[in-house]
Structure 1
Amino acid sequence: MKPRVHKSLVVQLQAGGTGRFTVLAHLTYDAGDPFAVTAVFGHDGHVLARWRLDREMLAEGLRGPVGIGDVRLRPVATGMWQELRIDLLGDVRPDGGRHHAVVYAWAPAVAAFLRESREAVPPGREEVPVDDVLAEILAAG
């Protein structure tokens, strides 16, 4: 059985020029997809969004700004409160702009989740079943 790490966090979401509101973030690390963390954001039992994040990028975002694509991360300090700001850029809107949401997570909770994921599968020890992936791709073609 491949290791799996899961943590639910209370985070704050800001989208569409609104103020912050509280949602749940379910972070999952699965050794079967060893370089990714799945983040599912929900409110009142409804899934608002699901994103796959790079595990190392998530760790780097706790230390400094990272990302130039659809996902951008950076630490934010407000007094003694340390947050991880996660900017998520979505599909293009009819007006030409892009959907944009910002998630603010308590940085120590994200760091604890990442520590657990590294205990399950240390960096550099990730295994990718390349033969299985290639067989799946060739079978689909």
Structure 2
Amino acid sequence: MNPLVHQTLVMQLQTGGTHRFPVLTHLSYDAADPFAVTAVFSHDGRVLARWRLDRQMLSDGLRGPVGVGDVRFSPTGSSRWEELRMEFFGDSHPDGARHHAVVYAWAPAVAAFLRKTYDVVAPGSERVHVDDFLAEVITDG
């Protein structure tokens, strides 16, 4: 079985108070990093942001609000059009305000991606290889 899962989705980036525009989003999952999903957001061929997301938190966000720090997820919409609202907070501006982005994804598409990742590494069976992690930290440090 392939230890990698990739999916490309069109999501909506909300700017200002109400305006949304489409962003191409590449979701990827690697069994070698079983707790994380990488999301790369791009527009007009330019990468806007790259985030490593907690896979369980992403799943939980489809059912209810989660997150209190830089990343927050919550379901929104009607039963006909269910969305996952993803809120990201970045570095501070000189005036003290923080960079902030809200992205909306069609929830069934995110759920389908997660199901594919569960085929690779079932929830609860994730393992961290501590020896490999320590070797990497020592090599980089």
TM-score by length of 1: 0.94
Secondary structure class of the residue paired with 1:20? strand
Q: Does 1:39 align with 2:69?
A: no
Distance 2:5 2:23 in 1: 20
How many residues align? The count is 141
Paired position in structure 2 for 1:56: 56
Paired position in structure 2 for 1:105: 105
Distance 2:18 2:63 in 1: 27
- Whether the aligned pair in 2 keeps the contact of 1:10 and 1:22 (CA below 8 Å) is yes
Identity among equivalent pairs (%): 67
Q: Does 1:116 align with 2:116?
A: yes
- Greater relative contact order, per chain length (Cα 8 Å cut-off, separation 6+): 1
Q: Does 1:138 align with 2:116?
A: no
Distance 2:44 2:54 in 1: 27
Structure 2, unpaired ranges of 5+: none
- State the 1:124 CA deviation: 1.8
Distance 1:92 1:113 in 2: 32
Q: After superposition, where does 1:66-77 map in structure 2 within 5 Å?
A: 66-77=66-77
Paired position in structure 1 for 2:27: 27
For 1:19, the aligned partner's letter is H
- Aligned residues: CA RMSD: 1.5
- State the 1:2 CA deviation: 6.1
- State the 1:79 CA deviation: 5.8
For 1:7, the aligned partner's letter is Q
Paired position in structure 1 for 2:127: 127
- Whether the aligned pair in 2 keeps the contact of 1:16 and 1:100 (CA below 8 Å) is no
- Whether the aligned pair in 2 keeps the contact of 1:3 and 1:120 (CA below 8 Å) is yes
For 1:25, the aligned partner's letter is T
- State the 1:137 CA deviation: 1.8
- Whether the aligned pair in 2 keeps the contact of 1:2 and 1:32 (CA below 8 Å) is no
For 1:38, the aligned partner's letter is T
Residue by residue, what CA displacement relative to the aligned partner does 1:16-57 show, whole Å, maximum 9, x if unpaired? 446100011100010111100000001111101000000000
Paired position in structure 1 for 2:94: 94
